[in-house]
Structure 1
Protein backbone atom coordinates (compact mmCIF):
# COMPACT_ATOMS: atom_id res chain seq x y z
CA UNK A 1 0.00 0.00 0.00
CA UNK A 2 1.45 3.34 -1.04
CA UNK A 3 2.22 6.02 1.56
CA UNK A 4 0.00 9.09 1.80
CA UNK A 5 1.27 12.63 2.36
CA UNK A 6 -0.73 15.75 3.22
CA UNK A 7 0.94 19.06 2.36
CA UNK A 8 -0.12 22.39 3.84
CA UNK A 9 0.71 25.22 1.45
CA UNK A 10 0.59 23.00 -1.58
CA UNK A 11 0.86 25.73 -4.21
CA UNK A 12 4.20 27.00 -2.91
CA UNK A 13 7.21 26.27 -5.07
CA UNK A 14 8.88 23.87 -2.60
CA UNK A 15 5.57 22.04 -2.17
CA UNK A 16 5.07 21.77 -5.93
CA UNK A 17 8.49 20.15 -6.32
CA UNK A 18 7.69 17.86 -3.39
CA UNK A 19 4.37 16.81 -4.91
CA UNK A 20 5.99 15.96 -8.24
CA UNK A 21 8.86 14.04 -6.64
CA UNK A 22 6.62 12.03 -4.30
CA UNK A 23 4.07 11.09 -6.96
CA UNK A 24 6.40 10.59 -9.94
CA UNK A 25 9.94 9.85 -8.73
CA UNK A 26 9.58 7.99 -5.42
CA UNK A 27 9.18 4.23 -4.99
CA UNK A 28 6.60 3.42 -3.88
CA UNK A 29 4.84 6.50 -5.20
CA UNK A 30 2.96 8.55 -2.63
CA UNK A 31 -0.64 9.65 -2.75
CA UNK A 32 -0.33 13.40 -2.15
CA UNK A 33 -3.16 15.57 -0.86
CA UNK A 34 -2.37 19.25 -1.20
CA UNK A 35 -4.08 22.05 0.73
CA UNK A 36 -4.34 25.19 -1.39
CA UNK A 37 -5.95 28.58 -0.84
CA UNK A 38 -7.69 29.13 -4.17
CA UNK A 39 -9.61 26.79 -6.45
CA UNK A 40 -7.83 28.26 -9.46
CA UNK A 41 -4.62 26.61 -8.19
CA UNK A 42 -6.17 23.14 -8.50
CA UNK A 43 -5.07 22.44 -12.07
CA UNK A 44 -1.44 23.03 -11.13
CA UNK A 45 -1.65 20.51 -8.30
CA UNK A 46 -3.44 17.95 -10.46
CA UNK A 47 -0.84 18.30 -13.23
CA UNK A 48 1.88 17.43 -10.70
CA UNK A 49 0.04 14.29 -9.60
CA UNK A 50 -1.49 15.69 -6.41
CA UNK A 51 -5.06 15.82 -5.14
CA UNK A 52 -6.04 19.43 -4.33
CA UNK A 53 -8.01 20.43 -1.24
CA UNK A 54 -9.23 24.03 -1.15
CA UNK A 55 -9.08 25.18 2.47
CA UNK A 56 -8.12 28.50 4.07
CA UNK A 57 -5.32 28.20 6.59
CA UNK A 58 -6.26 31.54 8.14
CA UNK A 59 -9.97 30.79 8.51
CA UNK A 60 -9.77 27.11 9.46
CA UNK A 61 -9.92 26.00 13.08
CA UNK A 62 -8.01 23.13 14.66
CA UNK A 63 -11.21 21.09 14.29
CA UNK A 64 -11.36 21.93 10.57
CA UNK A 65 -7.77 20.80 10.06
CA UNK A 66 -8.39 17.69 12.16
CA UNK A 67 -11.30 16.74 9.91
CA UNK A 68 -9.11 17.13 6.80
CA UNK A 69 -6.35 15.03 8.33
CA UNK A 70 -8.75 12.29 9.38
CA UNK A 71 -10.34 12.26 5.92
CA UNK A 72 -7.02 11.95 4.07
CA UNK A 73 -5.40 9.68 6.71
CA UNK A 74 -1.80 10.60 5.84
CA UNK A 75 1.37 8.82 6.90
CA UNK A 76 3.21 12.15 6.66
CA UNK A 77 2.11 15.75 7.17
CA UNK A 78 4.34 18.47 5.70
CA UNK A 79 3.93 22.12 6.62
CA UNK A 80 5.24 24.19 3.72
CA UNK A 81 2.80 27.09 3.93
CA UNK A 82 3.76 30.72 4.31
CA UNK A 83 2.24 34.15 3.97
CA UNK A 84 5.07 35.24 1.71
CA UNK A 85 6.13 38.20 3.83
CA UNK A 86 4.58 41.64 3.54
CA UNK A 87 1.52 41.91 5.77
CA UNK A 88 2.59 41.26 9.41
CA UNK A 89 -0.95 40.28 10.45
CA UNK A 90 -1.20 37.64 7.73
CA UNK A 91 2.30 36.43 8.57
CA UNK A 92 1.16 35.83 12.16
CA UNK A 93 -2.06 34.16 10.99
CA UNK A 94 -0.29 31.72 8.65
CA UNK A 95 3.33 31.24 9.70
CA UNK A 96 2.65 31.20 13.43
CA UNK A 97 -1.00 30.44 14.21
CA UNK A 98 -1.68 28.32 11.13
CA UNK A 99 1.35 26.14 11.75
CA UNK A 100 0.45 25.65 15.41
CA UNK A 101 -3.13 24.74 14.46
CA UNK A 102 -1.78 22.09 12.10
CA UNK A 103 0.37 20.61 14.88
CA UNK A 104 -2.58 20.44 17.26
CA UNK A 105 -4.74 18.92 14.52
CA UNK A 106 -2.18 16.18 13.85
CA UNK A 107 -2.22 15.32 17.54
CA UNK A 108 -6.02 15.29 17.58
CA UNK A 109 -6.15 13.09 14.48
CA UNK A 110 -3.51 10.67 15.74
CA UNK A 111 -1.04 11.34 12.90
CA UNK A 112 2.52 11.24 14.22
CA UNK A 113 4.99 12.12 11.45
CA UNK A 114 5.16 15.88 10.98
CA UNK A 115 7.78 17.79 8.97
CA UNK A 116 7.89 21.59 9.00
CA UNK A 117 9.80 23.70 6.49
CA UNK A 118 11.16 26.54 8.59
CA UNK A 119 14.06 28.89 7.82
CA UNK A 120 17.75 29.29 8.48
CA UNK A 121 18.65 31.54 11.45
CA UNK A 122 15.27 31.23 13.17
CA UNK A 123 16.34 31.79 16.78
CA UNK A 124 15.85 33.94 19.88
CA UNK A 125 18.35 36.70 19.13
CA UNK A 126 17.35 38.71 22.20
CA UNK A 127 17.94 36.09 24.89
CA UNK A 128 20.18 33.40 23.42
CA UNK A 129 23.80 33.45 22.20
CA UNK A 130 24.91 33.58 18.59
CA UNK A 131 25.47 30.02 17.29
CA UNK A 132 29.13 29.20 17.86
CA UNK A 133 29.64 28.03 14.26
CA UNK A 134 28.70 31.45 12.80
CA UNK A 135 31.65 33.38 11.37
CA UNK A 136 31.75 37.18 11.05
CA UNK A 137 30.05 37.12 7.65
CA UNK A 138 27.27 34.91 9.04
CA UNK A 139 26.72 37.41 11.85
CA UNK A 140 26.52 40.30 9.38
CA UNK A 141 24.15 38.32 7.17
CA UNK A 142 21.98 37.51 10.19
CA UNK A 143 21.69 41.21 11.03
CA UNK A 144 20.68 42.02 7.45
CA UNK A 145 18.11 39.25 7.18
CA UNK A 146 16.49 40.01 10.53
CA UNK A 147 16.41 43.70 9.61
CA UNK A 148 14.52 42.84 6.44
CA UNK A 149 12.05 40.13 7.55
CA UNK A 150 11.92 40.16 11.36
CA UNK A 151 8.11 39.62 11.63
CA UNK A 152 8.38 36.48 9.49
CA UNK A 153 11.33 35.06 11.43
CA UNK A 154 9.65 35.76 14.78
CA UNK A 155 6.49 34.00 13.57
CA UNK A 156 8.56 30.99 12.50
CA UNK A 157 10.37 31.04 15.86
CA UNK A 158 7.07 30.93 17.74
CA UNK A 159 5.82 28.02 15.63
CA UNK A 160 9.04 26.01 15.92
CA UNK A 161 9.25 26.71 19.65
CA UNK A 162 5.70 25.42 20.09
CA UNK A 163 6.47 22.31 18.05
CA UNK A 164 9.37 21.45 20.34
CA UNK A 165 8.18 22.70 23.74
CA UNK A 166 4.61 21.44 23.49
CA UNK A 167 5.46 18.04 22.07
CA UNK A 168 5.07 16.22 25.37
CA UNK A 169 1.38 17.04 24.99
CA UNK A 170 1.16 16.36 21.25
CA UNK A 171 3.47 13.37 20.90
CA UNK A 172 4.44 14.10 17.29
CA UNK A 173 7.41 12.55 15.51
CA UNK A 174 8.58 15.84 14.07
CA UNK A 175 11.51 17.19 12.08
CA UNK A 176 12.28 20.86 11.47
CA UNK A 177 14.20 21.59 8.26
CA UNK A 178 15.66 25.10 8.05
CA UNK A 179 16.69 26.10 4.51
CA UNK A 180 18.70 29.18 3.65
CA UNK A 181 17.81 31.64 0.90
CA UNK A 182 15.73 29.90 -1.75
CA UNK A 183 16.53 29.95 -5.45
CA UNK A 184 14.56 28.82 -8.49
CA UNK A 185 17.58 27.08 -10.01
CA UNK A 186 17.21 23.40 -10.93
CA UNK A 187 18.19 21.10 -8.10
CA UNK A 188 21.70 19.67 -8.04
CA UNK A 189 20.89 16.78 -5.72
CA UNK A 190 23.56 17.98 -3.30
CA UNK A 191 23.45 20.24 -0.22
CA UNK A 192 25.25 21.13 2.97
CA UNK A 193 23.19 20.14 6.02
CA UNK A 194 23.52 20.50 9.77
CA UNK A 195 25.47 23.43 11.21
CA UNK A 196 26.02 25.76 8.28
CA UNK A 197 27.16 29.31 7.73
CA UNK A 198 24.83 31.92 6.33
CA UNK A 199 25.07 33.27 2.80
CA UNK A 200 24.63 30.27 0.50
CA UNK A 201 21.42 29.89 -1.47
CA UNK A 202 19.68 26.55 -1.90
CA UNK A 203 17.43 25.42 -4.73
CA UNK A 204 13.78 24.90 -3.84
CA UNK A 205 13.94 21.56 -5.62
CA UNK A 206 16.82 20.47 -3.39
CA UNK A 207 14.83 21.53 -0.31
CA UNK A 208 11.98 19.31 -1.53
CA UNK A 209 14.38 16.40 -2.01
CA UNK A 210 15.71 17.03 1.49
CA UNK A 211 12.15 16.66 2.81
CA UNK A 212 11.87 13.32 0.98
CA UNK A 213 15.17 12.18 2.52
CA UNK A 214 13.82 13.17 5.95
CA UNK A 215 10.71 11.09 5.32
CA UNK A 216 12.89 8.10 4.50
CA UNK A 217 15.22 8.45 7.52
CA UNK A 218 13.56 7.93 10.90
CA UNK A 219 16.78 9.07 12.56
CA UNK A 220 15.73 12.65 11.81
CA UNK A 221 12.78 12.47 14.21
CA UNK A 222 13.09 15.12 16.90
CA UNK A 223 15.82 17.07 15.10
CA UNK A 224 16.01 20.58 13.67
CA UNK A 225 18.77 21.25 11.15
CA UNK A 226 19.87 23.75 8.53
CA UNK A 227 20.33 23.18 4.82
CA UNK A 228 22.03 25.31 2.16
CA UNK A 229 23.61 24.68 -1.20
CA UNK A 230 26.61 22.36 -1.05
CA UNK A 231 28.34 19.36 -2.51
CA UNK A 232 27.12 16.43 -0.42
CA UNK A 233 24.47 14.10 -1.92
CA UNK A 234 21.19 14.85 -0.16
CA UNK A 235 20.54 11.40 1.31
CA UNK A 236 24.10 11.24 2.61
CA UNK A 237 23.87 14.74 4.11
CA UNK A 238 20.61 13.91 5.89
CA UNK A 239 21.93 10.54 7.08
CA UNK A 240 24.97 12.25 8.62
CA UNK A 241 22.72 14.72 10.46
CA UNK A 242 20.58 11.83 11.70
CA UNK A 243 23.53 9.67 12.78
CA UNK A 244 25.27 12.56 14.56
CA UNK A 245 22.02 13.93 16.02
CA UNK A 246 22.85 17.43 14.80
CA UNK A 247 20.37 20.02 16.09
CA UNK A 248 20.72 23.71 15.23
CA UNK A 249 17.65 24.91 17.17
CA UNK A 250 18.38 23.44 20.60
CA UNK A 251 19.81 26.10 22.89
CA UNK A 252 18.76 28.94 20.59
CA UNK A 253 15.03 29.31 21.27
Structure 2
Protein backbone atom coordinates (compact mmCIF):
# COMPACT_ATOMS: atom_id res chain seq x y z
CA UNK A 1 0.00 0.00 0.00
CA UNK A 2 1.15 3.52 -0.75
CA UNK A 3 1.64 6.77 1.10
CA UNK A 4 -0.40 9.06 -1.14
CA UNK A 5 -0.41 12.84 -1.23
CA UNK A 6 -3.30 14.60 -2.95
CA UNK A 7 -2.59 18.09 -4.28
CA UNK A 8 -5.86 19.98 -4.25
CA UNK A 9 -7.31 17.87 -1.49
CA UNK A 10 -10.38 19.99 -0.79
CA UNK A 11 -11.71 19.73 -4.33
CA UNK A 12 -14.81 17.66 -5.08
CA UNK A 13 -12.99 14.78 -6.76
CA UNK A 14 -10.29 14.69 -4.09
CA UNK A 15 -12.85 14.56 -1.29
CA UNK A 16 -14.58 11.64 -2.99
CA UNK A 17 -11.29 9.84 -3.64
CA UNK A 18 -9.83 10.24 -0.15
CA UNK A 19 -12.01 7.73 1.74
CA UNK A 20 -11.78 5.30 -1.19
CA UNK A 21 -7.99 5.43 -1.08
CA UNK A 22 -8.02 4.87 2.68
CA UNK A 23 -10.46 1.98 2.32
CA UNK A 24 -8.05 0.45 -0.20
CA UNK A 25 -5.33 0.51 2.45
CA UNK A 26 -3.41 3.65 1.49
CA UNK A 27 -2.52 6.49 3.83
CA UNK A 28 -3.42 9.94 2.56
CA UNK A 29 -1.98 13.40 3.08
CA UNK A 30 -4.16 16.13 1.64
CA UNK A 31 -2.76 19.48 0.52
CA UNK A 32 -5.23 22.32 1.08
CA UNK A 33 -5.10 26.11 0.78
CA UNK A 34 -6.93 27.22 3.91
CA UNK A 35 -6.65 26.25 7.60
CA UNK A 36 -10.45 26.21 7.87
CA UNK A 37 -10.48 23.23 5.48
CA UNK A 38 -8.50 21.05 7.90
CA UNK A 39 -11.50 19.71 9.83
CA UNK A 40 -13.15 18.43 6.66
CA UNK A 41 -9.98 16.61 5.60
CA UNK A 42 -9.68 15.01 9.03
CA UNK A 43 -13.32 13.87 8.78
CA UNK A 44 -12.39 12.07 5.56
CA UNK A 45 -9.59 10.24 7.37
CA UNK A 46 -6.62 12.03 5.81
CA UNK A 47 -3.86 14.22 7.23
CA UNK A 48 -4.29 17.85 6.14
CA UNK A 49 -1.36 20.03 5.13
CA UNK A 50 -1.87 23.74 4.41
CA UNK A 51 0.27 24.70 1.42
CA UNK A 52 -0.09 27.36 -1.28
CA UNK A 53 0.59 25.65 -4.60
CA UNK A 54 0.12 28.90 -6.53
CA UNK A 55 3.27 30.49 -5.09
CA UNK A 56 5.27 27.34 -4.27
CA UNK A 57 8.66 26.67 -5.81
CA UNK A 58 9.98 23.27 -6.85
CA UNK A 59 11.94 23.13 -3.59
CA UNK A 60 8.78 23.91 -1.65
CA UNK A 61 7.01 21.03 -3.38
CA UNK A 62 9.94 18.71 -2.73
CA UNK A 63 9.59 19.36 0.99
CA UNK A 64 5.93 18.33 1.13
CA UNK A 65 6.30 15.39 -1.26
CA UNK A 66 9.18 13.83 0.66
CA UNK A 67 8.39 10.46 2.26
CA UNK A 68 5.43 9.84 -0.05
CA UNK A 69 5.16 7.13 -2.67
CA UNK A 70 2.45 8.55 -4.91
CA UNK A 71 1.11 11.94 -5.96
CA UNK A 72 -2.40 12.70 -7.16
CA UNK A 73 -2.75 16.07 -8.89
CA UNK A 74 -6.32 17.21 -8.30
CA UNK A 75 -5.68 20.95 -8.07
CA UNK A 76 -6.96 23.62 -10.42
CA UNK A 77 -7.35 27.37 -10.56
CA UNK A 78 -11.01 27.08 -11.46
CA UNK A 79 -10.90 29.38 -14.47
CA UNK A 80 -11.79 33.06 -14.73
CA UNK A 81 -8.27 34.39 -14.11
CA UNK A 82 -5.71 33.56 -16.82
CA UNK A 83 -2.69 34.48 -14.68
CA UNK A 84 -3.84 32.22 -11.86
CA UNK A 85 -4.66 29.46 -14.34
CA UNK A 86 -1.12 29.53 -15.71
CA UNK A 87 0.31 29.72 -12.19
CA UNK A 88 -1.60 26.67 -10.90
CA UNK A 89 -2.53 24.45 -13.84
CA UNK A 90 0.80 24.90 -15.65
CA UNK A 91 3.59 26.22 -13.43
CA UNK A 92 2.65 24.56 -10.14
CA UNK A 93 1.84 21.27 -11.83
CA UNK A 94 5.20 21.24 -13.61
CA UNK A 95 7.02 22.17 -10.38
CA UNK A 96 5.30 19.29 -8.58
CA UNK A 97 6.31 16.85 -11.32
CA UNK A 98 9.96 17.86 -11.10
CA UNK A 99 9.83 17.81 -7.31
CA UNK A 100 8.25 14.35 -7.26
CA UNK A 101 11.18 12.94 -9.22
CA UNK A 102 13.66 14.43 -6.79
CA UNK A 103 11.68 13.32 -3.75
CA UNK A 104 11.27 9.74 -4.95
CA UNK A 105 7.47 9.97 -5.15
CA UNK A 106 7.57 8.09 -8.43
CA UNK A 107 3.89 7.22 -8.92
CA UNK A 108 2.04 10.24 -10.27
CA UNK A 109 -1.62 10.42 -11.27
CA UNK A 110 -2.67 13.54 -13.13
CA UNK A 111 -6.32 14.53 -13.41
CA UNK A 112 -6.52 16.25 -16.77
CA UNK A 113 -9.51 16.44 -19.10
CA UNK A 114 -10.93 14.61 -22.08
CA UNK A 115 -8.78 15.15 -25.17
CA UNK A 116 -6.12 17.34 -23.54
CA UNK A 117 -3.44 17.99 -26.15
CA UNK A 118 -1.20 20.73 -27.49
CA UNK A 119 -3.26 20.33 -30.64
CA UNK A 120 -6.37 21.47 -28.75
CA UNK A 121 -7.25 24.02 -31.42
CA UNK A 122 -8.57 26.60 -28.97
CA UNK A 123 -7.95 30.16 -30.25
CA UNK A 124 -5.62 32.25 -28.10
CA UNK A 125 -8.31 34.87 -27.57
CA UNK A 126 -10.80 32.31 -26.24
CA UNK A 127 -11.46 32.20 -22.49
CA UNK A 128 -10.71 28.46 -22.41
CA UNK A 129 -7.27 28.85 -23.98
CA UNK A 130 -5.24 29.39 -20.75
CA UNK A 131 -6.67 26.20 -19.25
CA UNK A 132 -6.34 24.09 -22.39
CA UNK A 133 -2.78 25.26 -22.95
CA UNK A 134 -1.77 24.89 -19.30
CA UNK A 135 -3.13 21.37 -18.95
CA UNK A 136 -1.54 20.27 -22.22
CA UNK A 137 1.87 21.64 -21.24
CA UNK A 138 1.68 20.00 -17.81
CA UNK A 139 0.62 16.69 -19.35
CA UNK A 140 3.48 16.83 -21.86
CA UNK A 141 5.96 17.58 -19.09
CA UNK A 142 4.69 14.63 -17.10
CA UNK A 143 4.98 12.30 -20.10
CA UNK A 144 8.58 13.45 -20.63
CA UNK A 145 9.47 12.72 -16.99
CA UNK A 146 10.88 9.56 -15.45
CA UNK A 147 7.82 9.16 -13.24
CA UNK A 148 5.41 6.22 -13.33
CA UNK A 149 2.57 8.38 -14.55
CA UNK A 150 -1.05 7.93 -15.45
CA UNK A 151 -3.09 10.74 -17.01
CA UNK A 152 -6.84 10.60 -16.43
CA UNK A 153 -8.94 12.49 -18.96
CA UNK A 154 -12.57 12.58 -17.81
CA UNK A 155 -15.28 14.25 -19.85
CA UNK A 156 -17.76 16.86 -18.63
CA UNK A 157 -17.82 16.49 -14.87
CA UNK A 158 -21.10 15.99 -13.05
CA UNK A 159 -22.20 15.37 -9.48
CA UNK A 160 -24.26 12.35 -10.54
CA UNK A 161 -24.14 9.31 -8.30
CA UNK A 162 -21.21 7.11 -9.37
CA UNK A 163 -21.92 3.62 -10.62
CA UNK A 164 -18.40 2.32 -11.25
CA UNK A 165 -18.77 2.01 -15.02
CA UNK A 166 -16.97 4.05 -17.68
CA UNK A 167 -16.24 4.03 -21.39
CA UNK A 168 -12.60 4.41 -22.36
CA UNK A 169 -11.92 6.55 -25.41
CA UNK A 170 -8.90 6.97 -27.64
CA UNK A 171 -7.22 10.28 -28.26
CA UNK A 172 -9.50 11.23 -31.18
CA UNK A 173 -12.40 11.99 -28.88
CA UNK A 174 -14.22 14.37 -31.20
CA UNK A 175 -14.35 11.69 -33.86
CA UNK A 176 -15.38 8.96 -31.43
CA UNK A 177 -18.15 10.95 -29.76
CA UNK A 178 -20.86 12.30 -31.98
CA UNK A 179 -22.66 15.54 -31.25
CA UNK A 180 -25.56 13.65 -29.67
CA UNK A 181 -23.41 11.43 -27.44
CA UNK A 182 -22.99 12.27 -23.77
CA UNK A 183 -19.66 13.46 -22.44
CA UNK A 184 -20.97 13.32 -18.86
CA UNK A 185 -18.55 11.85 -16.33
CA UNK A 186 -19.44 11.49 -12.67
CA UNK A 187 -16.87 12.93 -10.29
CA UNK A 188 -17.46 9.83 -8.21
CA UNK A 189 -16.41 7.65 -11.12
CA UNK A 190 -13.26 9.77 -11.51
CA UNK A 191 -12.52 9.19 -7.82
CA UNK A 192 -12.88 5.45 -8.35
CA UNK A 193 -10.62 5.68 -11.40
CA UNK A 194 -7.88 7.25 -9.27
CA UNK A 195 -7.95 4.30 -6.89
CA UNK A 196 -8.06 1.79 -9.74
CA UNK A 197 -5.14 3.42 -11.54
CA UNK A 198 -3.05 3.52 -8.38
CA UNK A 199 -3.58 -0.21 -7.91
CA UNK A 200 -2.89 -1.22 -11.51
CA UNK A 201 0.66 -1.33 -12.88
CA UNK A 202 -0.90 -1.77 -16.33
CA UNK A 203 -2.00 1.87 -16.19
CA UNK A 204 1.55 3.20 -15.77
CA UNK A 205 2.58 5.51 -18.62
CA UNK A 206 -0.89 5.48 -20.15
CA UNK A 207 -3.49 8.14 -20.91
CA UNK A 208 -7.02 7.09 -20.02
CA UNK A 209 -9.66 9.34 -21.57
CA UNK A 210 -13.15 8.32 -20.52
CA UNK A 211 -16.80 9.16 -19.96
CA UNK A 212 -19.51 7.37 -18.02
CA UNK A 213 -20.19 4.06 -19.73
CA UNK A 214 -20.79 0.35 -19.37
CA UNK A 215 -17.38 -1.15 -18.55
CA UNK A 216 -16.28 -1.77 -14.96
CA UNK A 217 -13.62 0.72 -13.92
CA UNK A 218 -11.41 -2.05 -12.56
CA UNK A 219 -11.58 -3.79 -15.94
CA UNK A 220 -10.59 -0.63 -17.79
CA UNK A 221 -7.50 -0.34 -15.62
CA UNK A 222 -6.59 -3.99 -15.88
CA UNK A 223 -8.17 -5.19 -12.63
TM over 0.5: yes
d(CA) in 2 for partners of 1:221, 1:237:
13
- 1:14-36 per-residue CA deviation (whole Å, 9 max, x = no partner) reads 1111111112x32xx21100000
TM-score by length of 1: 0.80
Task: Answer whether contact 1:193 1:238 (CA < 8 A) is retained.
Answer: no
Once the two structures are TM-superposed, the CA of residue 147 in structure 1 deviates from its matched residue by 5.2
Match of 1:105 in 2: 99
Match of 1:210 in 2: 193
Match of 1:246 in 2: none
d(CA) in 1 for partners of 2:159, 2:61:
30
Aligned equivalent of 1:62, options 58, 63, 69: 58
d(CA) in 2 for partners of 1:192, 1:16:
23
> Tell me, what secondary structure is at the counterpart of 2:115?
coil
- 1:25-71 per-residue CA deviation (whole Å, 9 max, x = no partner) reads 32xx211000001111111111111110000001111111101111x
Once the two structures are TM-superposed, the CA of residue 3 in structure 1 deviates from its matched residue by 2.5
d(CA) in 1 for partners of 2:44, 2:213:
27
Match of 1:244 in 2: none
Match of 1:184 in 2: 159
d(CA) in 1 for partners of 2:168, 2:108:
19
TM-score by length of 2: 0.90
Once the two structures are TM-superposed, the CA of residue 219 in structure 1 deviates from its matched residue by 1.1
Consecutive unaligned residues of structure 2, counting only runs of 5 or more, are none
Once the two structures are TM-superposed, the CA of residue 150 in structure 1 deviates from its matched residue by 2.1
d(CA) in 1 for partners of 2:203, 2:13:
20
d(CA) in 2 for partners of 1:121, 1:87:
22
Higher helix share: 1
Q: Does 1:201 align with 2:184?
A: yes
Aligned residues: 214
Aligned equivalent of 2:218, options 229, 235, 238: 235
Task: Answer whether contact 2:71 2:107 (CA < 8 A) is retained.
Answer: yes
| Alignment RMSD | 1.9
Q: Does 1:48 align with 2:40?
A: no
